[in-house]
A and B are shown apart, each in its own frame.
Chain A
Amino acid sequence: MSRNTQIPALEPLMKASQTIFNDELKACKAQGGKIVGYLQEEIPEEIFTAAGLVPVAVRGVGSDGTELAEAYFRQLTCNYVRNTFNTILNGDWDFLDGAVYSNHCDHARRIYDNWATLPGNPAYHFVYVPKSIGPRETEFYREELKKLIEATEKRFNVKITSESLTAAIKLHNETRRLQQQIYDMQKGEQVYLKGSELLLVMMAANCVPRVRYNQLLKELIEQLKAVGPTIKPTLRLMYTGGHADSQEFFELLEKQGGDIIVDNAAFGTRACAKLISEEGCPLEAIVNYYQDQKPSATRIGGTADARMQRVVDLVKEYKLDGVISARLFMCDLWAFEQFMMRKRLEKEGVPLLELEVDYQLDGEGQIRTRVQAFIESILARKNN
């Protein structure tokens, strides 16, 4: 069963998530807003908000190729990075007032080095995020964030205070609470959003000014609740992977007869699973959240058990029939994540489909066939 009623709040969110300089950002810019691009997941967006800036995740959505980027990145670099850098060279990110990068992976960290060579580039700071967790790493990360604050204050001639940080934490926590509500609505036998809708709504948090996003999300929840859960999944699946953000890709997964109910994506459940403490020193709360409390990124040493357990827990919590994981060609982090996930999910008896994909949807037929076969095998098992 599908939804027959229009949900007006869906359209602006989904549209914004598929466009680099979207209408929401254009409106913000027209009102004198300043926008900072950053690598999503481990750089605290709250710091930019506290500085009165709008944080936007830099990515290559809508990219029309990698020709320009080839002079900077060889074929061993993943297509997310090459497409993203192509959009940078294409001028698609010229509206940015600043950009901050981190050492998230071997591919993405080189965007910073290369971007910094371009005339008039907005890249003004690099954050080293430790590759493991512990007291020494926390101490180092705290110092890194202090440097980020200092660099941001200097570039934009602003002061980031405890009060502005606390206000930013509250604003971003509000987002997380609303997103948690969205995910709660996906737990029933019938759900409110298709997987493609869910994932794009989540992605929109990274490219729509936060106050506006929260407003749209509230409206979305109200409108969805008014209509009720209208989608009855044939199979309940989870998407997990790195960097996929295109509508076509998520639609391709769900068109084959399974429904993505939930995700384990950096911009999805991992972004809203925990709240930042609103008590005490706000910088300390941000440090603790990003280092110790938030579900870890794939790359964080010593967290593999917790990461695998989180996947298993999501399977149980959302009563899932299987997991679809997708890694980008050349991505070592997710190749290993799939390697470990395969072992763990096999023990748990959870079907897993491992895909290797390009950032821009390619080899559609092959993906379709593999997803179809996966769904058929689960259905056959269920029917027996």
Chain B
Amino acid sequence: MTQVVEGIERIKEYRERLVGLLDFMSKLPPEQQNPVAMAVVTMMKEKDEQLIDAAETGKPIVCTWYGNCIEVLSGMGIAFFNPVIDLMFHLGLTDYADAKECDKYNLDDKICSLVRYAVYSMENKLHPRPTCFIAMQEPCDGQLMLHQAFTQLDHLKGVPFFSIDPSYGHTDKDFEYVAKQLKDMVKFVEEKTGVKYDFEKVKAVVDETNKQYAIWAECNELMKASPAPLPSFAIPDAFWPLMQHLKVGNPVYTKIMETVRDVAKANVEKGVGPVMNEQIRIFWPDLDPLWSEKLGQWLAEEWNAVVVQTFQGLTPYTPVDTSNEDAMFFGLARRAVAEVPMIRQGRGWTDVVVEDVTNAIQDYNIDAVLFSGHMGHKDQSGINYFMKKACRDMKVPLLTLTTSLFDERYTPLDKVKNDISNFFSANGWKRNKKA
């Protein structure tokens, strides 16, 4: 029976907006339609519908986070949400309405914008009350603390809470430690939701993600071509939500990813790409910014420049062995703490950052590194020396900005563009004469 549930109004609002967006997209002339974008929006709508159904019919709902092996929840068929994904997606469609409300929220504004959105949205009941929480304690202090803050909100008191301690290194011992906790997590979820875990169902999800990550790796390979076959940020922007935020392991996603790969492959074979006179190949060592599309378009038009790889796209995603349960959880643990972007680079020592930057510069024939200097990444503020040294050793210029990846108002885009232009000019690159 359908129930009236507190916190579901906002999810319905999201769904209605996505229905409208899909309607708009489908009415565009065929040459302007983007089947990948439409598919991603459709998946987001379906996620919201699953959440609404679960809330209205009393099914369990888990509040979790990327990097928490959502393959398990997907395989168990449990509705879940990450408190910031919908909110951030809809910022661009609502003139940053929630971000403006969040400006007034009484939590230090020097904390990561994304982390602030999460606490703001939970306190303001923009989600149904979850059956339980799965907390992420990595890669930063903000993440660690936001989950603690949830437990102190009056309406969330008593919601059971499970947290995964990530360890610091990249050895098998580290992954075994996390794998044991993932097994504990399964027991916790079973106990709190009443849903039984079935190895075969989770294995099917993980097997599908293995295929999807393999396609992602193929796309990365194709981006090594010059001109790059796809626009700045395109691959990680499209694939990241499919792999870590929506109901992962869906074969429909595999088709979407194959479509992207095939377009890239065809472009490489034809020797074409969105920036034909490619002048500057850029590495962006961080998550993609929410304002990636605007930045990417400007880089192409003004400087014939392309962001060919980012930390969000560059990650090994070692295939997870699903031949038995122990192997699968070990592989999922490794994926969760050593391969999911930002967690991979932010959780432990600086060696991974240096290695990733060095490899990216070499493998993607990078001309320049643009470091976002995201205001929430306090650990990155302490890798200044390493980032400079890695770029200097590779003889590639580095620009360190100060931005918020999740709030373009923090450093206005015009200021970012100006800093980038000065940097490019100082390094001898010429503006596109057409611009």
A residues in contact (CB < 8 Å) with B:
71-78, 81, 103, 105-107, 109-114, 117, 126, 128, 130-132, 134, 136-137, 140, 298-299, 301-305, 308, 327, 329-330, 332-333, 335-340, 342-344, 356
Contact = CB atoms under 8 A, between A and B. Distances in A.
9 contacts: A72-B384, A74-B381, A76-B377, A106-B382, A126-B168, A140-B177, A329-B110, A332-B110, A343-B152
Contacts of B147: 301
A357 to B, nearest CB: 13
A114 B108 CA distance: 27
Contacts of B149: 304, 336, 339-340
Given A110-B379, A140-B165, A301 B349 contact: no
Contacts of B146: 336
Nearest to B354: A113
A106 B148 contact: no
A132 B151 CA distance: 14
B40 interface: no
Given A77-B378, A117-B385, A332 B145 contact: yes
B381 A340 contact: no
B140 interface: yes
Contacts of A342: 106
A77 B163 contact: no
Contact of B378 (A128, A332, A343): A332
B111 interface: yes
A343 B111 CA distance: 18
Interface residues of B, number: 50
A134 B187 CA distance: 15
A78 B111 CA distance: 12
B181 A136 contact: yes
Given A113-B349, A335-B108, A77 B382 contact: yes
A114 B137 contact: no
Nearest to A108: B382
Given A71-B384, A76-B381, A332-B111, A299 B180 contact: no
Given A103-B168, A113-B349, A132 B385 contact: no
Contacts, number: 149
Listed residue (B107, B146, B379, B386) with the most chain A CB atoms within 10 angstroms of its CB: B379
A340 B152 contact: yes
Interface string B159-185: 001010111110000000100110010
A111 B385 CA distance: 12
A106 B378 contact: yes
A336 B382 contact: no
Contacts of A298: 145
B151 A304 contact: yes
User: Which of B115, B375, B381 has the most chain A CB atoms inside 10 A of its CB?
Assistant: B381
A107 to B, nearest CB: 6
A337 B166 CA distance: 22
A149 to B, nearest CB: 17
B141 A132 contact: no
Contacts of A74: 373, 381-382, 384, 400, 402
Given A301-B144, A301-B163, A302-B163, A110 B383 contact: yes
A112 B348 CA distance: 11
A301 B141 contact: no
A75 B181 contact: no
A301 B148 contact: yes
Given A74-B373, A301-B147, 11 more contacts: A112-B349, A140-B167, A303-B148, A332-B115, A332-B141, A332-B145, A332-B378, A335-B108, A335-B145, A339-B149, A343-B153
A136 B165 contact: yes
A130 B378 contact: no
B193 interface: no
Contacts of B380: 76
A126 B384 CA distance: 20
A377 to B, nearest CB: 18
Contacts of A344: 152
B377 A136 contact: no
- Kindly name the residue among B119, B148, B349 whose own CB sees the greatest number of chain A CB atoms within 10 A: B148
B227 interface: no
B382 A305 contact: no
B142 interface: yes
Contacts of B383: 110, 113
Contacts of B69: none
Given A76-B375, A128-B169, A302-B161, A333 B381 contact: no
Given A117-B385, A336-B145, A131 B379 contact: no
Contacts of B377: 76
A76 B384 CA distance: 11
Given A106-B140, A301-B137, A332-B140, A72 B382 contact: yes
Contacts of B378: 76-78, 105-107, 330, 332
